Amino acid sequence: MPRPLRIACLQTRPMPSVNSALDEALPLARQAVSAGAQFLFLPEYCGGLASEGAALVPPAHEENDHPFLASFQGFARDHSVWIMIGSIAVKGNAGKIINRGFVLDPEGRIISRYDKIHMFDIQISPTEVYRESARVAPGEASCLIRTPFAQIGHTICYDVRFPHLYRDLAKAGAEILCVPAAFTKKTGQAHWHVLNRARAIENGAFVVSSCAVGAVEGGGEAYGLSLIIDPSGEVLGDGGETPGVVMAEIDLDKVGEARGKIPSLTHDRPYNMS
């Protein structure tokens, strides 16, 4: 029997303050709910993002006093909708922040937290350098969320390059793998579609990847092209290069069908390096 779920990715622009981020995200959230979405997915650093040279400097607050989180908790309650906040900047220890995502239930309650594990420390060119670890403390635990619809794996952006994380989530029962992101335009053009489709195909899972789009104040640009991908690797929704809402109705029974046809999750074997 089909298990349908109507989902929406909110493709927002990276905004330099929490207030401007709310002004960006809330109208898209209202649009998605009006169109029948049951579960909303927001990008990485959807609560605000800016940069200073090689460092990302998103506006950060204590979790229990974060205005973006509080506002979307109220939105979830008011509209009886599930929400994945891809990530916001939460104050941590020793002057660092945490790149933390949340899932909210229709009562606005926080049912999961995920701190991004893999830090985006790369050098694309002599002039394009990113050092997320300069300001951000990495997480240490994966995140599997149990909802009435499905089990969901929450990851963030650069995590997508570490396939063992998704393998472990899928083996633990994840039927939807999420990759909220503010993927850089240059790496996005080269790798975004390929990486997300690969994670779907190799794990027989839906992949839902809401990605910010547009220029980052202080330097850099997010790629956009938010994706909804089925377990066979078919792209059901693509956000393109402008802000907006990407919607699709997914049938979660397709996960079992895909894993039944190609049960690779049960075929992993130990091996030695020669």
Report field, pTM of the whole predicted structure over 0.85: yes
Between CA 26 and CA 23 the distance in angstroms is 6
Per-residue pLDDT, averaged over 229-252, amounts to 98
Q: How far apart are the first and last CA of the chain?
A: 47
Q: Is residue 274 part of a domain?
A: no
Q: Of residues 9, 24, 44, 185, which has the active-site annotation?
A: 44
β-strand 82-91 against 60-61: which pairing, if any? Answer: parallel
Residue 211 has pLDDT above 80, yes or no: yes
Dump pLDDT digits (tens) for 84-135: 999 999 999 999 999 999 999 999 999 999 999 999 998 888 878 888 998 9
Q: What is the pLDDT of residue 55?
A: 81
Round to whole Å and give the CA distance between 143 and 273: 30
Residue-wise pLDDT tens digits, 175-184: 999 999 999 9
Taking residues 198-207, report their average pLDDT: 98
Q: Which letter, b or e, does each residue of 265-274 get, where b requires 16 or more Cβ atoms within 10 Å of its Cβ?
A: eeeeeeeeee
267 lies in some domain:
no
User: How does pLDDT run across 153-162, given as a tens digit for each residue?
Assistant: 999 999 999 9
Q: Is position 44 annotated as part of the catalytic site?
A: yes
CA distance 209 to 178: 6
Active-site pick, 116, 132, 178, 211: 116
- Does residue 268 belong to any structural domain of this protein? no
What is the domain range of residue 85?
Answer: 4-262
What share of the chain has pLDDT > 70, as a percent? 100
Q: Which residue of the set 9, 46, 143, 157 is catalytic?
A: 157
- Asked if residue 272 belongs to a domain, the reply is no
**Residue 190 counted as domain residue:** yes
What does the pLDDT read at residue 56?
86
Q: Specify if 115 maps to a domain.
A: yes
Q: Is residue 227 part of a domain?
A: yes
- Is 171 one of the catalytic residues? no
Total count of domains within the chain: 1
248 pLDDT band, cuts 50/70/90, is very high
With respect to residue 46, please indicate whether it lies within any of the assigned structural domains: yes
Cα distances (angstroms) measured from residue 109 to each of 72, 80, 149: 10, 11, 17
pLDDT at 1 over 90: no
What is the per-residue DSSP string for 123-145? Answer: ESSSS-EEEGGGTBPPP----EE
Catalytic residue check, 91: no
CA distance 173 to 69: 27
* 2 close to 150: Cβ distance less than 8 angstroms: no
The answer for residues whose C-beta is within 8 angstroms of residue 206's C-beta and 6 or more apart is 175, 176, 177, 200, 228, 229, 230, 231, 250, 252, 254, 255
The CATH number of the domain holding residue 71 is 3.60.110.10
Closest to 244 measured CA to CA, from 28, 81, 87 = 28
